[in-house]
Amino acid sequence: MNFFTRPSKCFLFDILESKLKSIESEIGLDAGSSNFKNRRWFKTKKYYGLDINLDSLKNGLAKYNPDPRAFGLCADVTKLKTLPANSVDLIVSTNTLYALPPSDRLSAIQQLADLTAPNGRFICEFSLKNDSNLIINLLKNKFDQIKIIYYKNIISYCYEKIFERQGFLGHHPIASSRPMRLFAWLLSRLEFISCHFKTGNQQIIIDCNHKKTPPNSKQNFDLSKFELINSRIYQIH
């Protein structure tokens, strides 16, 4: 159970935790990781947090120190073509893609899909906007299986709007209290009813499996050509 100030976030991370708990593959990539915000749910042998902000990556490494399986990639999520295609077993992106302009969002998702290994998994989350159908079609062309989960229903939306100040909610003195976090989590249980329908929801989670590439096309996630700018952070150009 994940207790956050936003019911929609409680739902998102309960879903993410349930999906990742059984994925014990080699390479995991957290795209738009900030300070390794999704690290605790990854069960892969190696975790790579990717973010454009070097300080955030350093904070992530410090937060999970010592963790010899965790590394940072300092990179722009829209400029990943130098990384080896078909090489990452698990890619997750949350609370990142929604902030990109439509053309950059589409480019980032395409590049993350290209990075995904033939038998890998790609899970991304973004807002239901005009380009969502383009993204869904792109992913259908890349993967044989995609599962769509809608969330942030009207109840969660209205609850969050009550406490939001300029789009922020996390440190609200009332919403961030323990009883209200529990209440937000209880409200998030309604998301499990409404998540099957697009109508009335604001966000979307897409879970992609079975990439349409031959199994023998998998490459090693080789970072040897990239500069190591910290003991465990690579600069990706």
Whether the pLDDT of residue 169 is over 90: the answer is no
Decide the pairing of beta strands 143-151 and 203-211.
antiparallel
Give me the residue label for tokens 């961030």.
Answer: 176
- Minimal CA–CA distance to 230: which of 62, 72, 56? 72
Mean pLDDT of all residues in the chain? 95
48: which strand partners? 29, 71
Name all domains of the chain by residue range, CATH numbers in brackets.
18-150+207-235 (3.40.50.150)
Residue 164 confidence (pLDDT): 87
Q: Is the pLDDT of residue 170 over 90?
A: no
For the chain, give the percent of residues with pLDDT over 90.
89
Q: Which tens digit of pLDDT belongs to each residue from 96-140? A: 999 899 999 999 999 999 999 999 999 999 999 878 999 999 999
Could you report the per-residue pLDDT of 40-61, keeping only the tens digit for each?
999 999 999 999 999 999 999 9
